[in-house]
Structure 1
Amino acid sequence: MRRMLFGLLVGASLATPVLAQTSVATDAGTVAGAADTEVISFKGIPYAAPPVGPLRWKAPERALAWNGVREAKVYGNACPQPVRTEAWAQVGAQSEDCLFLNVWRPKKPGKYPVMVFMHGGGFVFGAAGVPLYEGSGLAARGAVVVTMNYRLGRLGYFAHPALTREDPDGKLGNFGVMDQIASLEWVKRNIAGFGGDPGNVMIFGESAGAGAVQILMGSPAATGLFHKAASQSGSGSTVLAPIRGGAINAEMLGQKFTDDLGLKDATAAQLRAIPVAEIIKARAFPFIDGKVVTMSPGEAFYKNKQTRIPLIIGSNSNESSLGGMTEATAKMVLGSAFPELHAGYIALTGKAPDAAAVDLAEGLGFVLPSIAVADQHAATGNKAFAYYFDQVPVDQRATAAGTDHGGELEYLFGNKAAEHRWDAEDLKVSKQMGDYWVRFATTGDPNGKGAARWPAVTTPPTNYLVIGAKPHAARLAPVEEKVKAAAMAAAIKTWAAPAAP
């Protein structure tokens, strides 16, 4: 920062002032970023108009233009959400005026691949400004990195008869997904000014962000906006409710929410007057609206309607840290097949029956549906690379069951979580993972000189790469192939059922 200020003071004597290196014109106005040793960062850039007042629960509109140079050196507001206590998950100031993105680019001029990250948090929590997602480490490898906010909870995913009556032919309900698409449209229009190649954009996301990646790969509204994708711990067997029809639908849930507030037969204006504090109390998720979200995550791959681009997809070695992946869950899904497959997991893992049952449930819920998506993508002639991440910071290595849900992110971004310690092994894994992702963003293939060979997915038993201290290629065991098939059977059956538009 001191170097940048010094450059501004003496800029009159330089052939190229520092300001020219850190200022970029966008279609809404000029932004001024901050230069560091290797990268230039631009934070808090509005990519859409504030979705407040009459724009609450409407599709995002273009960002409002400004005059002069807008400082882009601090993160914008996070979208409203419940408070979390974890140190790493603090999002800073919140406001409905939250549609901001951040850009990191290498200092050296060039035409770089673009990596657009979609944060996790169950579609309820999170923000692009969480320190874990700071993009300097990835950008320094030779990429333009973008992180973005999108509307969360009932502000982001809300259908109601009053909103449908207001605009029956419009894009309804999935405002958070519309925000993600709007950010990609901003990238297409503006990223060249930041040194990015609008014809080489990769989207990548974790957890809910990974589910969003899969949704966007099946959404006609996102066609042509990205060219590579990575889905990290996003499963692949999720089933979304429809906007209307069926036993449970999004409009029904929206109506119940307002009825419980005492707003019977509410108008759209009354909905937009509900205090934010009331809105964020209830969880909400994407649903099938028929225009923006047309299929559940994973479904497009089984119907051969996904975007035909290179894909990385995988999960971590302790996804059960997320909760809900228990022996009871495995029994419910597998029914009479549970004893045989449980015995197979005991033999495969060498663990006690209760621990093997958790691994089985974890395979059903996260690990193997991701592999199944990779299989389907490869079977239709697309490049697919599957992974299994298994690295734990040195301070947890002796006691951890594996890499927790989301635990790969500090390695990918190269930003050690404040509560962890790293050793040389952790640093090596971080470099390895970041290099794989940036090579993939650049060429569509993560492989490169000096790295463990990452085999592409071909035919079952599925190839994948174990990413960790000793990276190596592996293949699914026969019992895992059986569990993978069982994991997808229920989802496929549900996807096949007709849903109301």
Structure 2
Amino acid sequence: MMRHMLFALLLGVSITTAASAQTSARTDTGQVAGVADGTVISFKGIPYAVPPVGPLRWKAPEPAPSWAGVRDAKAYGNACPQLERKEAWAQVGPQSEDCLFLNVWRPAKPGKYPVMVFLHGGGFVYGAAGVPLYEGTGLAARGAVVVTINYRLGRLGYFAHPALTREDPDGKLGNFGVMDQIAALEWVKRNIASFGGDPGNVMLFGESAGAGAVQILMGSPAAAGLFHKAASQSGSGSTVLAPIRGGAINAEMLGQKFTDELGLKDATAAQLRAIPVAEIIKARAFPFIDGKVVTMSPGEAFYKNKQMRIPLIIGSNSNESSLGGMTEATAKMVLGSAFPELHAGYVALTGKSSDAAAVDLAEGLGFVLPSIAVADQHAATGNKAFAYFFDQVPVDQRAAAAGTDHGGELEYLFGNKAAEHRWDAEDLRVSKQMGDYWVRFATTGDPNGKGAVRWPVVTAPPTDYLVIDAKPRAARLAPVEEKAKAAAMAAAIRTWTAPAAP
């Protein structure tokens, strides 16, 4: 009897020890303890860089310091400072300048899994890795290690000023949020094997601002070798970034205007770092071309054949106009004298009213067609590219919706139904197929697989793409869309190829 009790006790110890080992991982700065939830283990709030506070505000990220013992990794870290918003996706929790944390979800079963690193959206001024929408259990359960990261936002993340330039003229200047993203990818390269991930098989994917960052990083020498596949979701491709200096408008000029308005003329770097956070987050700010980290605008590298030679998924949603600004007036401004012909073509193509077709045209010019143009350019230089158009709406909104809003694909991709929505069997099916496509792509560089509707690879215009909805199908751009695509990119290409300002 005692022998049986001793055996049971030893068995219990052995099971406990195995479970403990399974929910812990060792990084290059210390051990972390996560949480097992069914077939997935999560690790939250892992610091990947030194807190960028005090004298480190507006400096390039440095590796996180080591800690003794086992760090609890059961709760998300602070979000980076930002203004409050009411939308569910912007409920980011506690905020602090000490915000450079990442989160990892891994399958509980030991293995060597592809890694999926997600860059959140929010216009470079909102968002966080800990938003419930981005919870990684659903994707990880399919057989991937999923990583979400915080990065500095707004003027804390994107700020150039003559005083900071004088402090370190040969350093990495201004694009601190992009530097954070690179630092997180370097952390992944060093540490992800401890979480069952393959550091040689990393997919970077992002939505909106995160998608723009994916394109920026595909053209940045500083990110070379840090990821091996990419997905850009609703990130356009025709954006033109300002330079750090030179030209009619530049980042240093905007930075100095910001501090001048605070009464800090001829400010020193120390005075800048003493500005209250509450003042800093009031001002919007975006990446700019600094020449070292951000070397080109998001789509520019693809046109100059300087992008990473890796497989790419890129696409957009059916109601990107929900973001605002995509109106008939916008389309007229972009197209000029070409507007009447293309507008008439969209009326014929869509069968919609004149006003609705004009919005579709503006939406195409702003998001849909530049994304597909990037796919064309990537394929033209011998790389695998897969384009998509997402058009699924939750059942409670389906009857009245104009299409899938900007960001509306994310709840399907992550498998996290938004609290304000209802799903039916159709929504569940779309979520499964989209998650499967993305994980297969992360694994092999090709989203296709047994039993799935075939996603055509992009070859040459007219461009083939996949419509992702309840009845996924291959489609091809119509001639009028091809014309609009060329018009959408023309102005951006002229800017990218213009001689540099002195």
Sort the TM-score into its range (normalised by shorter chain). over 0.9
Alignment partners' CA distance in 1, 2:148 and 2:501: 34
Cα drift, residue 9 of structure 1: 13
Alignment partners' CA distance in 2, 1:15 and 1:470: 46
Alignment partners' CA distance in 1, 2:386 and 2:19: 41
Q: Paired residue for 2:62?
A: 61
Q: Is the 8 A contact 2:318 2:390 kept in 1?
A: yes
* AA in 2 matched with 1:225: L
Q: Paired residue for 1:186?
A: 187
Q: Is the 8 A contact 2:89 2:127 kept in 1?
A: no
1:392 and 2:393 are equivalent in the alignment: yes
Aligned CA distance change for structure 1 residues 456 and 266 (closer, same or farther; 3 Å): same
Aligned CA distance change for structure 1 residues 500 and 293 (closer, same or farther; 3 Å): farther
Q: Is the 8 A contact 1:11 1:18 kept in 2?
A: no
Q: Is the 8 A contact 1:11 1:17 kept in 2?
A: no
Report 1:100-249 matches (<5 A): 100-249=101-250
Q: Is the 8 A contact 2:40 2:140 kept in 1?
A: yes
Q: Is the 8 A contact 1:88 1:418 kept in 2?
A: no
Alignment partners' CA distance in 1, 2:35 and 2:63: 25
Q: Paired residue for 1:250?
A: 251
Q: What SS does the corresponding residue of 2:25 show, helix, strand or coil?
A: strand
Q: What are the Cα deviations for residues 347-406 of structure 1, in whole angstroms up to 9, with x where unaligned? A: 000000000000000000000000000000000000000000000000000000000000
* AA in 2 matched with 1:58: K
Q: Paired residue for 2:351?
A: 350
* AA in 1 matched with 2:408: G
Alignment partners' CA distance in 1, 2:10 and 2:400: 53
Report 1:307-456 matches (<5 A): 307-456=308-457
Cα drift, residue 128 of structure 1: 0.1
* AA in 2 matched with 1:147: T
Alignment partners' CA distance in 2, 1:15 and 1:88: 37
Cα drift, residue 14 of structure 1: 3.1
Q: What SS does the corresponding residue of 1:387 show, helix, strand or coil?
A: strand
Alignment partners' CA distance in 1, 2:210 and 2:151: 10
Cα drift, residue 62 of structure 1: 0.5
Q: What SS does the corresponding residue of 2:383 show, helix, strand or coil?
A: coil
Alignment partners' CA distance in 1, 2:380 and 2:291: 26
1:89 and 2:90 are equivalent in the alignment: yes
Q: What are the Cα deviations for residues 283-308 of structure 1, in whole angstroms up to 9, with x where unaligned? A: 00000000000000000000000000
Aligned CA distance change for structure 1 residues 20 and 260 (closer, same or farther; 3 Å): same
1:14 and 2:18 are equivalent in the alignment: no
Q: What SS does the corresponding residue of 1:473 show, helix, strand or coil?
A: strand
Aligned CA distance change for structure 1 residues 13 and 288 (closer, same or farther; 3 Å): closer
Q: What SS does the corresponding residue of 2:59 show, helix, strand or coil?
A: coil
Cα drift, residue 476 of structure 1: 0.1
Relative to structure 2, which stretch is displaced further, 429-438 or 11-20? Answer: 11-20
1:36 and 2:37 are equivalent in the alignment: yes
* AA in 1 matched with 2:123: G
Aligned CA distance change for structure 1 residues 15 and 80 (closer, same or farther; 3 Å): closer
Alignment partners' CA distance in 2, 1:41 and 1:333: 46
Q: What SS does the corresponding residue of 2:123 show, helix, strand or coil?
A: coil
Alignment partners' CA distance in 2, 1:388 and 1:35: 35
Q: What are the Cα deviations for residues 59-113 of structure 1, in whole angstroms up to 9, with x where unaligned? A: 0000011000000000000000000011332000000000000000001000000
Q: What are the Cα deviations for residues 421-472 of structure 1, in whole angstroms up to 9, with x where unaligned? A: 0000000000000000000000000000110000000011000000000000
Aligned CA distance change for structure 1 residues 385 and 175 (closer, same or farther; 3 Å): same
Alignment partners' CA distance in 2, 1:199 and 1:165: 39
Q: What SS does the corresponding residue of 2:258 show, helix, strand or coil?
A: helix
Q: Is the 8 A contact 1:106 1:142 kept in 2?
A: yes
* AA in 2 matched with 1:475: R
Q: What SS does the corresponding residue of 1:14 show, helix, strand or coil?
A: helix
Q: Paired residue for 1:487?
A: 488
RMSD, aligned α-carbons: 1.2
Alignment partners' CA distance in 2, 1:216 and 1:244: 21
Q: Paired residue for 1:473?
A: 474
Q: What SS does the corresponding residue of 2:42 show, helix, strand or coil?
A: strand
Q: What are the Cα deviations for residues 116-149 of structure 1, in whole angstroms up to 9, with x where unaligned? A: 0000000000000000000000000000000000
Relative to structure 2, which stretch is displaced further, 82-91 or 227-236? Answer: 82-91
Q: What are the Cα deviations for residues 146-170 of structure 1, in whole angstroms up to 9, with x where unaligned? A: 0000000000000000000000000
* AA in 1 matched with 2:421: H
Alignment partners' CA distance in 1, 2:370 and 2:89: 28
Q: Paired residue for 1:290?
A: 291
Q: Is the 8 A contact 2:84 2:90 kept in 1?
A: no
Q: Is the 8 A contact 1:242 1:500 kept in 2?
A: no
Alignment partners' CA distance in 1, 2:324 and 2:11: 56
Q: Paired residue for 1:464?
A: 465
Alignment partners' CA distance in 1, 2:312 and 2:236: 14
Q: What are the Cα deviations for residues 394-419 of structure 1, in whole angstroms up to 9, with x where unaligned? A: 00000000000000000000000000
Aligned CA distance change for structure 1 residues 481 and 50 (closer, same or farther; 3 Å): same
* AA in 1 matched with 2:447: P
Cα drift, residue 497 of structure 1: 2.0
Q: What SS does the corresponding residue of 2:124 show, helix, strand or coil?
A: coil
Q: What are the Cα deviations for residues 286-344 of structure 1, in whole angstroms up to 9, with x where unaligned? A: 00000000000000000000000000000000000000000000001101110000000
Q: Paired residue for 2:4?
A: none
Q: What SS does the corresponding residue of 2:174 show, helix, strand or coil?
A: coil
Q: Is the 8 A contact 1:242 1:499 kept in 2?
A: no
Q: Paired residue for 1:5?
A: none
Q: Is the 8 A contact 1:238 1:298 kept in 2?
A: yes
* AA in 1 matched with 2:483: K
Matched residue pairs, number? Answer: 494
Alignment partners' CA distance in 1, 2:469 and 2:266: 55
Q: Paired residue for 2:3?
A: none
Alignment partners' CA distance in 2, 1:499 and 1:58: 27
* AA in 1 matched with 2:317: N
Cα drift, residue 15 of structure 1: 7.4
Alignment partners' CA distance in 2, 1:295 and 1:454: 30
Q: Is the 8 A contact 1:375 1:460 kept in 2?
A: yes
Alignment partners' CA distance in 2, 1:335 and 1:273: 47
* AA in 2 matched with 1:355: A
Q: Is the 8 A contact 1:117 1:205 kept in 2?
A: yes
